[in-house]
Amino acid sequence: MGFQSETMDFQPEINIQRNVYQVDALANKNPGELNRPVVKYKKKRKCMDYVKTTIPAIDWLLLNYNWSEDLLEDIMAGITVAVLNIPQGMAYSILGNVEPTVGLYMAVFPVLVYSILGTSRHISLGVLSVICLMTGKVVSTYASDTIADPEGYTNMEVATAVTMVAGLVQLLMYVFRLGMLSTILSETLVSGFTGSVAVIVITSQLKELLGVVTVRRNGPLQVVYTYYDFAVNFHTINWMTALVSAVTITILLVYNAFLKDKINKKLCMPLPIELLITVVGTTLFQITNIAEDYNMIQMGEIKSGLPGIQVPPLKLFPSVFLDACIIAVVAYSISMSLALLVSEKLKYPIDTNQELLAQGMGNVIGSLLSCLPCGASPSRSASQQTVGGKTQMASIVSAGIIVVVLLWVGVVFEPLPRCVLSSIIVVALKDIVLQTLELPRIWRNSRTDGLVWLITYAATIVLDIDVGLLIGVLVSVLCVFVKGVLIDVHALGRLPGTDLYMRLDTHGDAAEVPGVKALRFAGSVNVINRFAFKRKIVEALRSEYAADALVASAVPSVAVLSAAPPEPGSRTVVLDMAGLQYSDAAGTKLLCELFESLVADGYDVSLAAVPDASIGYMRANGLLSARFFPTVHDAVVFHQHRRQSRLLDAVVVKSANGEQKRF
């Protein structure tokens, strides 16, 4: 069977001859298995399997690491990530209102923890602009220089308290197997959220970029107030700072746009332009007095060595709990998005719950060692993968290099103006800001996704980061809820010469099978929409079978040939339930009641392509007389054959008094 293609002389065909099946006949096991709901069985695992699952490094590093083939590539990837971590770590620490070395600490301790416990081979954990900015907002709210607090919490104490709580929240999510919560933040929502946060980050860097004397704004309308303050205090601009920022941004933009691909093709690893600018800038301002002469703000004292262990103040935990929860979910969702993206490309599995354990432990241990909440960086993760990194050994190499920088090299960056790091931040966020240009495409593809993106973007910029994210999540969940209660019921027709049944309103070649009303249902049947579902089914049947109308007989088909007159009162309905996504107790009960009601009204009803679990629930709710077919065509042919048998058996015999009798 097949249609003749306009562009091909030959169209592949499928010719199958088989009996008509009902679902019970196809069951591999006892048909009674379909009469009970699906039961989940927990797979028993040996102790060693559990340990290897909980600590993946035992498997990939100690047992299966290919030292001869993978080590060199991992070392090259580790060096690449390390040179990216140095400028990014110091720059993003500014967003978190902490010392520059904190970003370097984050490139060591959480990274080492993740390399042992994580399941992604390529994501690079550490500083992330969105997370640092969100943490910086909490720091500016609770640190001693912004509120009257007799205990006088320092910026670092507040930051580590947020990190500890965020880590504990992620560990709690791991205990309750809540890895699926990462799906709450859809790709569209994350795009709108990160795009708006990028605008906020760039706005917050105007002070550093131009040397304007302003106060840092937080809360609703912070972007508007920041630009207002900038306009009012424009006369305080430091022109040398502005010039250095302009030159740095121009160099980075020109390199990324015109030179990056050409140069990297000739090198064995990407040219670390950010690190190069940092080193050149440090050298220039070290040998000159430009910064002092023009009152430029420099990095200042950078501590050398590794941090000591310090427990965050427990009294701060209740105050920062809500913000830390939001940060934990956002960091995990962004990291998981990157991990899944790379794993799908390279075809290896990711354990969403194990990722919670890895990131949670990374944050808990990091909070004891002066770290902010960590997240996976898109730029560093992409570099680690494209350079050729094979495993998290690259992260271990990167962490080792950063330790060397902390012990002996970090202090050399003290003369560097902060405007250079702010320029690096702005250019790094360029592509994220340009995500705004994707809105028309998103809107064309899905009005719902476009609405989620637009509301999240606007709410985050106008209100605040956490409020905007909350509104975005609520709108996204509301859209999913609305889609979940919407139902579609469409009449089906058969494509001539095939066993395919398509919607009549979208396929002009499809034609209804006389005597059979086939309806396709798509959606969920639940306590909210169950009556709407019933109403749509009834309306669809009324359009076909008017009051007291008779049904035409079946036309010739491959299975049945009939030339007999129609049989009055014969009304056949086939419900295609392949699109049944979910049915709760109330929905299942209504399905059973609807079936019994249709049968009582004289309809001959069959159900096609019902999910196995739903068959069990329906029969458990008393629907024992229903016929379940694997396909719509099985049900249609069954009813055609049944009707044909009845017509052939209906012999009219005239009695002596002229009356007719039908047997």
* Residue 544 and residue 397 in one domain: no
Q: Which of 378, 409, 436 is the last residue of a domain?
A: 436
497 and 428 housed in the same domain: no
User: 402, 436, 470 — which closes off a domain?
Assistant: 436
Please give the DSSP secondary-structure letter assigned to residue 527.
Answer: T
Among 518, 574, 571, 566, CA closest to 548: 571
Q: How far is CA 628 from CA 153, 608, 638, in A?
A: 68, 6, 11
Q: How many Å from the N-terminal Cα to the C-terminal Cα in the chain?
A: 38
Q: Is residue 612 part of a domain?
A: yes
pLDDT band, residue 213 (cuts 50/70/90): confident
Asked if 514 and 405 sit in the same domain, the reply is no
Is residue 36, in this structure, part of any structural domain at all? Answer: no
Tokens 């005597």 appear where? 515
CB 123 within 8 A of CB 381: yes
Q: Is residue 467 part of a domain?
A: no
Give the range of the structural domain holding residue 410, as residue numbers without chain letter: 51-436
For residue 28, tell me if it sits in a domain: no
Any domain includes 214: yes
Cross-strand bridge partners of residue 574? 518, 606
Based on the domain organization, do 101 and 232 belong to the same domain? yes
Q: Judge whether residue 371 has pLDDT over 90.
A: yes
CATH number for 626: 3.30.750.24
d(CA 166, CA 174): 12
Check whether residue 425 and residue 573 sit in a common domain.
no
d(CA 377, CA 124): 6
196 and 285 inside one domain = yes
Residues 431 and 524 in one domain: no
432 and 490 co-located in one domain: no
Q: What is the mean pLDDT of residues 545-573?
A: 41
309-353 pLDDT, tens per residue? 999 999 999 999 999 999 999 999 889 888 888 888 888 888 989
- 422 and 514 share a domain? no
Domain-ending residue, one of 399, 417, 436: 436
Instruction: Compute the distance between CA of residue 247 and CA of residue 105 in angstroms, rounded to an integer.
Output: 29
Q: Does 236 share its domain with 315?
A: yes
In a domain, 93, yes or no: yes
Same domain, 377 and 508: no
Q: Are residues 390 and 524 in the same domain?
A: no
Tell me the C-alpha distance between 287 and 558, whole Å: 92
Number of domains in the chain: 2
d(CA 485, CA 618): 20
Question: Is 151 a member of any domain?
Answer: yes
The confidence score (pLDDT) of residue 548 equals: 35
Q: Is residue 318 part of a domain?
A: yes
Where residue 654 falls among pLDDT bands split at 50, 70, 90?
very low
Q: Which of 320, 330, 405 is nearest to 86 (CA)?
A: 405
Global pTM reads 0.75
What is the pLDDT, as a whole number, of residue 26? Answer: 62
